[in-house]
């Protein structure tokens, strides 16, 4: 009876697996199979058939499934032996290259009573008077050793504004580190530690080879409890606009990622680094199975910049800006669906102009890799090598064609002069310079940004008191258009008490009128 019930269950499972199994079929022109002779009836009762046991039923079911599944590529585990496989050998190989990153900084604690005249009258400097006390603020994250010389990759938000960064390896050793490179827009940082012996590393793999459904492991130090490994699959690729950085091409995984995992390793079943765990989507602060990692191909490009001695990631420059292809734009261009990136502007004499790109063209693929959206193109361009030609497939005036483009280093611009504004104006104490594509990248601004930008502000200066910030672009002062640092210095020297100025911050124009 048990065997009959099991047979019914397995029959249902067999029907569910029917697409995986090869069903018998005959060609249309082939003769039908020969009819079998009818069985001769006898008066003897048929011998009772022995019902197969559980072992025989499962063996037959798994055997037929194994024969019907594809023999190439990836497949489901089959049989009890494969279900007992373990990730332990993989973790033993890669675990020693995942480190803990400790960042600390001294911050001043401002009293809630500071500046209150009532409390200062009665208690003097006890409540905010004089120098505010300092407190040590710490941050904990993870990192990955990617070079035997001691190069560590982590997230920028782990070490941001830190006065001291230490790295602890899995064997308990602790090393001071030097920050080689950090990029806020990508949320990546590269550290360097020193030792007389080479460090264990995780080889950097090709994140473009990942597919949705691939098995991955996440290794890090969640909540500071110690090195922890979790498993999952690749849930999605090319995730954008998740709100943690300007980067828009994340790997999504359901492997548990928690606070402290930031900067840790996401590895594939070949023991290769395919991502740096960066963020989670959560309402409680813990993992709910929606985590995001920066692809390893982006990590490789950033590490190469650090090895070349740069303290920021220099993106290849092609001299063009792009925008999304909306449904309306796709329809007007005769495209079947919205995809690719629309060319919105082309710089004169840049690589894009030389390649023949024009506003209105749509980039469909780069090096035969389809471009799903504008963020995907930004990622693909950022991972290109400078001076290494690439092939773009574009839609131009209703026809597809291929063009070759060679990315270059961002131009420096005609003038690199830096001027510090003095005098009695609201801009006093601000250091300004003319933007170039290279400087804009260094400041974490779009390469196409132009104008006179504030790059530094003296502490306690008028510019600081009025709320000016580095990366602000001064557009206009008292009716005069500002396009050179010299013009801003001249406008700031005007003898007046009334000031009208326009400043661009993060793409937004702010106009201010004040008496000073």
How many structural domains comprise the chain? Answer: 4
Catalytic residues: 157, 187, 262
As a dihedral over the C-alpha atoms of residue 198, residue 199, residue 202, residue 205, rounded to 10 degrees, the angle is -40
Judgement on whether residues 250 and 303 belong to the same structural domain of the protein: yes
Please check the confidence at residue 2 and state whether its pLDDT lies above 50. no
Please check the confidence at residue 118 and state whether its pLDDT lies above 90. no
pLDDT of residue 314: 87
Instruction: For residue 504, give its domain range.
Output: 418-515
Q: What are 436-480's pLDDT values in tens digits?
A: 888 888 887 888 888 999 999 998 889 988 899 999 999 999 999
199 domain-assigned: no
Q: Which class for 334: exposed (0-12), middle (13-18), buried (19 or more C-beta within 10 A)? A: exposed
Question: Of 285, 307, 329, which residue constitutes the final position of a domain?
Answer: 307
Judgement on whether residues 299 and 326 belong to the same structural domain of the protein: no
Judgement on whether residues 101 and 159 belong to the same structural domain of the protein: yes
Around Cβ 216, how many Cβ atoms within 10 Å? 23
- Pick from 20-29, 59-68, 142-151, 505-514: least confident: 20-29
410 domain-assigned: no
Judgement on whether residues 241 and 168 belong to the same structural domain of the protein: no
In the block, residue with structure tokens 């090895």 = 307
Q: Which class for 447: exposed (0-12), middle (13-18), buried (19 or more C-beta within 10 A)? A: buried
- Pick from 34-38, 313-317, 453-457: least confident: 34-38
pLDDT of residue 249: 85
Give the pLDDT band (50/70/90) at residue 31.
very low
14 domain-assigned: no
pLDDT of residue 260: 86
Q: What are 121-134's pLDDT values in tens digits?
A: 555 555 544 555 66
Judgement on whether residues 326 and 393 belong to the same structural domain of the protein: yes
Nearest CA to 288 among 253, 261, 250?
253
Between 12 and 119, the more confident residue is: 119
Judgement on whether residues 289 and 332 belong to the same structural domain of the protein: no
pLDDT of residue 213: 93
Q: What phi, psi does 293 have (nearest 5°)?
A: -135, 145
Q: CB–CB of 188/313 below 8 Å? A: yes
284 domain-assigned: yes
Please check the confidence at residue 4 and state whether its pLDDT lies above 80. no
Question: Of 192, 223, 247, which residue constitutes the final position of a domain?
Answer: 192
Between 83 and 388, the more confident residue is: 388
Judgement on whether residues 375 and 424 belong to the same structural domain of the protein: no
pLDDT of residue 163: 87
Judgement on whether residues 165 and 231 belong to the same structural domain of the protein: no
Q: What are 192-251's pLDDT values in tens digits?
A: 999 999 999 999 999 999 999 999 999 999 888 889 999 999 999 987 766 555 667 899
Share of the chain above pLDDT 70, in %: 77
271 domain-assigned: yes
Question: Of 405, 429, 462, which residue constitutes the final position of a domain?
Answer: 405
58 domain-assigned: no
Judgement on whether residues 302 and 211 belong to the same structural domain of the protein: yes
Strands (E), 250-340: 250-253, 265-267, 273-280, 291-295, 320-324
Per-residue tokens: 72: 């190439």
CATH number for 302: 2.40.10.10
Please check the confidence at residue 362 and state whether its pLDDT lies above 90. yes
313 domain-assigned: no
pLDDT of residue 316: 92
- Average pLDDT of the segment spanning 357-382: 92
Q: What are 162-196's pLDDT values in tens digits?
A: 889 999 999 989 999 999 999 888 899 999 999 99
Share of the chain above pLDDT 90, in %: 52
Judgement on whether residues 382 and 422 belong to the same structural domain of the protein: no
- Average pLDDT of the segment spanning 290-313: 92
71 domain-assigned: no
- Pick from 57-71, 152-166, 184-198, 417-431: least confident: 57-71
Judgement on whether residues 222 and 284 belong to the same structural domain of the protein: yes
- Average pLDDT of the segment spanning 255-276: 93
Please check the confidence at residue 320 and state whether its pLDDT lies above 80. yes
């Amino acid at each position: 009876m048990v065997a009959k019930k099991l047979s019914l269950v397995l029959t249902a499972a067999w029907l569910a697996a029917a697409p995986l199994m090869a069903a018998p079929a005959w060609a249309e022109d082939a003769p039908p199979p020969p009819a079998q002779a009818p069985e001769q009836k006898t008066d003897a009762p048929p011998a009772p058939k022995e019902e197969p046991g559980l072992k025989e039923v499962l063996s037959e079911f798994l055997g037929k499934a194994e024969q019907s599944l594809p023999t190439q590529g990836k497949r489901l585990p089959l049989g009890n032996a494969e279900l007992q496989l373990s990730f332990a050998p993989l973790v033993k190989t890669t675990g020693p290259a995942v480190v803990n990153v400790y960042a600390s900084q001294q911050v001043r604690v401002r009293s809630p009573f500071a500046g209150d005249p009532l409390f200062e009258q009665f208690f003097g400097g006890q409540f905010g008077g004089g120098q505010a006390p300092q407190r040590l603020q710490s941050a904990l994250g993870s990192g990955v050793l990617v070079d035997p010389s001691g190069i560590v990759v982590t997230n920028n938000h782990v070490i941001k504004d830190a006065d001291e960064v230490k790295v602890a390896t899995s064997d308990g050793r602790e090393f001071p580190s030097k920050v080689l490179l950090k990029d806020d827009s990508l949320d990546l940082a590269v550290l360097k530690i020193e030792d007389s012996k080479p460090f264990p590393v995780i080889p950097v793999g090709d994140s473009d080879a990942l597919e949705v459904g691939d098995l991955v492991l996440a290794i890090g130090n969640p909540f500071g409890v110690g090195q922890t490994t979790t498993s999952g699959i690749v849930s999605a690729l090319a995730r954008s606009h998740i709100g943690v950085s300007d980067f828009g091409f994340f790997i999504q995984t359901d492997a548990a990622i928690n606070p402290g995992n930031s900067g840790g390793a996401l590895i594939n079943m070949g023991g290769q680094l395919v991502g740096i765990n960066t963020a989670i989507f959560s309402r409680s602060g813990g993992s709910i199975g929606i985590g995001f990692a920066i692809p390893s191909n982006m990590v490789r490009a950033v590490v190469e910049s650090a090895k070349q001695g740069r303290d920021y990631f220099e993106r290849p420059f092609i001299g063009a800006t792009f925008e999304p292809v909306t449904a309306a734009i796709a329809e007007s261009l005769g495209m079947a669906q919205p995809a690719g990136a629309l060319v919105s502007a082309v710089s004169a004499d840049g690589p894009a102009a030389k390649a023949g790109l024009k506003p209105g063209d749509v980039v469909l693929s780069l090096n035969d890799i389809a471009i799903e959206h504008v963020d995907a193109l930004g990622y693909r361009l950022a991972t290109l090598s400078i001076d290494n030609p690439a092939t773009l497939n574009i839609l131009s005036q209703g026809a597809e064609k291929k063009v070759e483009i060679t990315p270059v280093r961002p131009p420096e611009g005609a003038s690199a002069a830096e001027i510090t504004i003095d005098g009695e104006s609201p801009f006093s104490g601000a250091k300004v310079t003319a933007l170039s594509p290279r400087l804009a990248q260094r400041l974490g601004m779009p390469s196409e940004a132009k104008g006179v930008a504030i790059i530094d502000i003296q502490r306690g200066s008028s510019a600081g008191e009025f709320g000016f910030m580095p990366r602000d672009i001064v557009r206009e002062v008292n009716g005069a258009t500002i396009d050179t640092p010299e013009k801003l210095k001249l406008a700031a020297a005007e003898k007046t008490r009334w000031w009208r100025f326009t400043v661009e911050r993060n793409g937004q124009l702010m106009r201010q009128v004040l008496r000073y």
